[in-house]
Structure 1
Amino acid sequence: MSSRFRHVALIGKYQASGARAQCGAHDDVMEGIGAFLESQGCKVFVEKSQADPVETGPYPALTVEEIGQHCDLGLVVGGDGTMLGIGRQLAPHDVPLIGINRGRLGFITDISLDNYQATLIPMLAGEYEEDLRTLMQAKVIRDGQSVFDTLAMNDVVVNRGATSGMVELRVTVGRHFVANQRADGMIISTPTGSTAYALSAGGPLLHPAVRGWVLVPIAPHTLSNRPLLLPDADEVTMELVGGRDASANFDMQSLATLAIGDQVMVRRSDYRVRFLHPKGWSYFDTLRKKLHWNEGGS
């Protein structure tokens, strides 16, 4: 069974220890996956930013831009954080992604390292489920000018400073004023991010097929402020009207410091991330495993 994917980017954090780390050698896991891909007829590349600066191993190293131009699949080895970072970067190129988890089961890196070969063989031959995930386009507007612009796959979060009190945010959806909300912060989450920070703050789980956002207050001053499900066709704006040392986080991987009057504007991106899963994959299977549903029952 030969692969329908001819050029595959192997993306992940190389891990080495002892003498291997000192000589800059790649770890056995990445080398083993690369050799497996070659055995399936794939030309393997690695991400240049993750490759060792002294020794890149047997595979050519490409920038993310070059991966987007030349590769027809990204195989991400690591955790959900690694997938979030590369997913945002490759979304404009429409490169599909498969995730192999090196640790605990992830929500979006869902293939176990223990049996990845048996799982990948039919997937590389074209037997897979495709899963499209919405991205957010987020901006920070200051004095009418954009001072920060990025993509987010999970969430956009406005937080109070570590030593300050609550923030006050003026929230609007489309052209409609929602409320001035006082809280420790506010989360705007995609369906993908509904299993991340939004879940721990009391938000609902949102199926990836739902075209919506979840607006979740963090420790709100008024207990009647509840999570709100919004259509993702509307732009959501959070304006900082009170509070010190506030910041905006985007997938918890990039940060913008906010001043009074700054607006964090979120809209649906034109890009989506393409995940590939094994045939028969179900979002509900992932929820059961990750959230330990059905455990302890009869």
Structure 2
Amino acid sequence: MKVGIIIKPGIKGAVGVLEDMAQYLKRKGTEVIVDTHVLKDPDVMVTSRKDLVRQVDAVVVLGGDGTMLSACRLAGPAGVPVLGVNLGGLGFITETKINEWQEAIDRLLSGDYQVEERMMLEALLEGPEEESVRVHVLNDVVITKGALARIIDLEVLVDGTLINTYKADGLIISTPTGSTAYNLSAGGPIVHPQVPCIVVTPICPHTLTNRPIVLSDSEVISIRLISKTEDVFVTFDGQLGYAFTDSHKLTVRASEFRTKLILPRTRDFFSVLREKLNWGVR
């Protein structure tokens, strides 16, 4: 079995965990590939993340949800399952705690785990001059105005039919997995990760009746900027960003790819909500 390890080196203690994990996997007879040169072990292959996901049977992510999202944008289209070990903060999708990594690796090597497939979005950004950009995301696609820009007008169509022209600070198009991220902060609903849908949530809408709407995963969303504002951007999973003008068109639909998350068989989505969101705490 080949296991790839993706790490965020800037996190305190991450390199130490990487060294221990690589040695543990090698003792188990597992080939290890990493995405960083911090190890001084000649038996551990180093390559780019893009190449790593094509060469392994599973990916282990050492970091927070941001590192996990970055890895899943590559691992999802490659069809490789991902195990997240949380070295960051909240850790909604990096569910394995740092003191549990050895147990998680044992489950991975023995096959004692479940793979939960998560819906992804495919976003196509088309402009008048530059080449189009196509991205597959696990969490969300967000259109937002700059710090000094006025409120913006966004025309949103679903399968060619107008939903609304939103006057707002921006718009979030979210997967069920992303519903507990920016969408939740903007007043959107929490959606169980196995519900096949797309959530559209306006950011600070001028009209309070412009509420979030839940769409079928079979529908195609098209968005254009109507207002003449230059300081507007579209971001993918909060990590990749591009300018968005009235000459651009953004199309979002359910991706043909799905992220495969490696989870313990005892994993319960509602216990995650209680723990991460402090439900029941007075």
| 1:32 equivalent among 20, 26, 31 | 20
> Does structure 1 residue 256 correspond to structure 2 residue 242?
yes
Larger Rg, first or second structure (1 or 2): 1
In structure 2, give the amino acid aligned to 1:277.
L
In structure 2, give the amino acid aligned to 1:280.
T
Q: Is the 8 A contact 2:171 2:202 kept in 1?
A: yes
Identify the residue that residue 3 of structure 1 maps to in structure 2: none
Q: Secondary structure at the match of 1:242?
A: coil
> Does structure 1 residue 295 correspond to structure 2 residue 260?
no
> Does structure 1 residue 41 correspond to structure 2 residue 26?
no
Q: Secondary structure at the match of 2:136?
A: strand
Q: Secondary structure at the match of 1:288?
A: helix
Residue 105 of structure 1: CA displacement? 4.3
Residue 156 of structure 1: CA displacement? 0.6
Q: Secondary structure at the match of 2:194?
A: coil
| 1:165 equivalent among 140, 145, 150 | 150
Runs of at least 5 residues in structure 2 that lack an aligned partner in the other structure? none
Matches within 5 A, 1:178-197: 178-197=163-182
Identify the residue that residue 62 of structure 2 maps to in structure 1: 77
| 2:270 equivalent among 284, 290, 293 | 284
Identify the residue that residue 13 of structure 1 maps to in structure 2: 8
Q: Secondary structure at the match of 2:275?
A: helix
Identify the residue that residue 124 of structure 1 maps to in structure 2: 109
> Does structure 1 residue 156 correspond to structure 2 residue 156?
no
Distance 1:70 1:250 in 2: 25
Residue 56 of structure 1: CA displacement? 6.5
Deviation string 1:126-170 (CA, Å, 9 cap, x unpaired) is 111211111111112224985322122111111112101111010
Identity across aligned pairs (percent)?
34
Distance 2:92 2:261 in 1: 11
> Does structure 1 residue 247 correspond to structure 2 residue 233?
yes
Residue 85 of structure 1: CA displacement? 0.5
Distance 1:144 1:150 in 2: 18
Stretch deviating more after TM superposition (113-122 or 131-140): 113-122
Q: Is the 8 A contact 1:139 1:146 kept in 2?
A: no
Distance 1:65 1:56 in 2: 21
Q: Secondary structure at the match of 2:226?
A: strand
> Does structure 1 residue 139 correspond to structure 2 residue 124?
yes
In structure 2, give the amino acid aligned to 1:268.
A
| 1:103 equivalent among 88, 106, 109 | 88
Deviation string 1:95-115 (CA, Å, 9 cap, x unpaired) is 111010113341110001012
| 1:90 equivalent among 62, 72, 75 | 75
Stretch deviating more after TM superposition (99-108 or 190-199): 99-108
- The normalised TM-score by structure 1 is 0.88
Identify the residue that residue 211 of structure 1 maps to in structure 2: 196
Runs of at least 5 residues in structure 1 that lack an aligned partner in the other structure? 1-5, 21-25
Identify the residue that residue 23 of structure 1 maps to in structure 2: none
Deviation string 1:174-231 (CA, Å, 9 cap, x unpaired) is 1211111100000000011101100000000011101111100000011100000011
| 1:176 equivalent among 161, 172, 175 | 161
57 and 288 in structure 1: CA distance in 2 versus 1, 3 angstrom threshold: farther
Query: RMSD of the alignment, in Å?
Result: 2.1
Distance 1:270 1:241 in 2: 30
In structure 1, give the amino acid aligned to 2:264.
P
120 and 279 in structure 1: CA distance in 2 versus 1, 3 angstrom threshold: farther
Identify the residue that residue 198 of structure 1 maps to in structure 2: 183
Q: Secondary structure at the match of 2:120?
A: strand
